Chains A and B, each alone.
Chain A
Amino acid sequence: MFSGLKDKVGEVLLPGDEFSLETEDTISLTERVKPEKVVCGPGLRRSGDRLLVCKSGVLRHKQPNMFWMDSQQRRYVPAKGETVIGIVTVKSGDVFKVDFGGSEQASLSYLAFEGATKRNRPNVQVGDLVFSQFVVANRDMEPELVCVDSSGRANGMGVFGAGGLLFTVSLGLARRLLSPHSEVLSDLQTLFPCELVVGMNGRLWVRSSSVQQTLVITNLLQSCDTMTAPQRQELFRRAAQGAL
């Protein structure tokens, strides 16, 4: 049923490309026929009995039936459950307004921090960075962030940022850094020790032992987008030798 789709995995597709989702005419009598479901990720939409590509990029596939478009977008659109780096812009009443690079600012409650109570408010200043997760993110509602997981633990989230540098990369690179067994990350580990926070919104924060090293990592990561793996490894190797 999805053979047409599977054939195209790893290929570059453009908006307007379509796939038919009609079932095959011949049904095998011996095997049990299971109704197949396909999970469409970003960049794919169903229209009638067809599947429509609406973003340019590379078609990706994950077992069993997940498909999505991998694109090099820069503007972030929030999705529930994703973790982002936000900048606090306003402190008002019992919520903070947080800029995360989307179409509107997200709200973050005072109480959505680990251990926060009405009396014990977290120490957050305007301009601070928060690493937080979306609990509400859909197109019709104001996005809402929290800095605790479902069990009330910070789990790495919260206010951070002293001594490091924030910069932006394409969303594609941020996802590549976050993917398990990321090649870019393992290449980076060979350089020098550093702390890295990656937000799904394309914001990255780096801190290492010296300003020089932080700047080197920043510039390396920003140039990763337009490099193939061998080129990148070559560059990282040179950086490690101190050429930069």
Chain B
Amino acid sequence: MMEVCGSSNVTLREFGSEQSLLSRPDGSASFIQGNTSVLAAAYGPAEVKVSKEIYDRATLEVLIQPKVGLPGVRERAQEQCVRETCEASLLLSLHPRSSLTLILQLIHDDGSLLSCFLNAACVALMDAGLPMSRLFCGVTCAIDADGQIITDPTAAQEKESRALMTFAIDATERRVMMSSTRGSFSVHELQQCIAVSQKASEKIFQFYRDSVRRRYSKTL
């Protein structure tokens, strides 16, 4: 039986976020987890191209910009993970025939990148005031060679891990909205990682609440 209690690896690195830091987009946020940082901007509901118009809901586009070069297959795969999570939480049917655009700019990758993308996306969508049925957050877990679970791993920890899992967790029922895994692991390990991520997500949701409260502190 694998034991994770009391392990020092199960921590979230220091994390932070700034909202509305860009003047042009309708909503923007930076999200920082340790050294990993991402900048997100959201536009919408805005004019949609005829070719992308959907008659009964808004079209959501997610663009991930790498630091060097043009977006490739890796970015496309991450875009899809983020887009599907956002689609599940946004109330897209409230703005039919319009477009929502979410742009995620990678600032620095030091592990747990996908979860950082998800968190930045959520804060930016919230900042843009888009109607959402629930909030979500991303948590990355790595299982190292000894079978220890590491939450929010750094790039070095990711490299040495046997398996890497990222979950998008919803705020109301702590359900798993999206999962992206790499490497091999047992069903038991998967369940344990989900349980750890659910616990960790509480911290992030509390952080969301605190930062929004702080933001509105002057207009109460």
- Check if A and B associate: yes
A residues with a Cβ closer than 8 A to B are 10, 12, 14-16, 18, 43, 45, 47, 52, 54-58, 70-75, 77, 102-104, 139-140, 172, 226-228
In the complex, the chain A residue whose C-beta lies closest to that of B131 is: A54
Asked whether, in the complex, the Cβ of A15 is within 8 Å of the Cβ of B27, the reply is no
Asked whether, in the complex, the Cβ of A52 is within 8 Å of the Cβ of B129, the reply is no
| Most chain B C-beta atoms within 10 Å of own C-beta, residue among A45, A54, A73, A172 | A54
In the complex, the chain B residue whose C-beta lies closest to that of A232 is: B218
Interface-lining segment among B7-15, B94-102, B143-151, B182-190: B94-102
Q: Which of B82-109 contact A (CB under 8 A)?
A: 89, 91, 94-99
Name the A residues within 8 Å of B220 (CB-CB).
Answer: 10, 12, 58
Asked whether, in the complex, the Cβ of A57 is within 8 Å of the Cβ of B46, the reply is no
For the complex, would chain A's binding face be called helix, strand, loop or mixed by DSSP majority?
A: loop
Asked whether, in the complex, the Cβ of A73 is within 8 Å of the Cβ of B216, the reply is no
Asked whether, in the complex, the Cβ of B218 is within 8 Å of the Cβ of A56, the reply is no
Cβ distance B215 to chain A, nearest Cβ, rounded Å? 8
Number of interface residues, chain B, beta carbon within 8 A: 39
In the complex, the chain B residue whose C-beta lies closest to that of A55 is: B129
Cβ distance B18 to chain A, nearest Cβ, rounded Å? 13
Asked whether, in the complex, the Cβ of B135 is within 8 Å of the Cβ of A14, the reply is yes
Cβ distance A147 to chain B, nearest Cβ, rounded Å? 23
Name the A residues within 8 Å of B132 (CB-CB).
Answer: 15-16, 54-55
A-B contact number at CB 8 A: 93
On whether A74 and B135 interact (CB within 8 A), knowing A103-B46, A103-B95, A139-B95, the answer reads no
Contact partner of B131 among A55, A72, A102, CB < 8 A?
A55
Name the A residues within 8 Å of B47 (CB-CB).
Answer: 103-104
Asked whether, in the complex, the Cβ of B219 is within 8 Å of the Cβ of A74, the reply is no
Instruction: List 6 contacting pairs A-B, 8 Å CB cutoff, sorted by A.
Output: A12-B212, A16-B134, A16-B172, A45-B131, A75-B129, A139-B95
Asked whether, in the complex, the Cβ of B128 is within 8 Å of the Cβ of A15, the reply is no
Asked whether, in the complex, the Cβ of B216 is within 8 Å of the Cβ of A74, the reply is no
A227 to B218, CA, bound (A): 6
Asked whether, in the complex, the Cβ of A228 is within 8 Å of the Cβ of B133, the reply is no
Asked whether, in the complex, the Cβ of B129 is within 8 Å of the Cβ of A12, the reply is no
Cβ distance B136 to chain A, nearest Cβ, rounded Å? 9
Asked whether, in the complex, the Cβ of B134 is within 8 Å of the Cβ of A75, the reply is no
B155 on the A face (CB < 8 A): no
A58 to B217, CA, bound (A): 10
Cβ distance B61 to chain A, nearest Cβ, rounded Å? 14
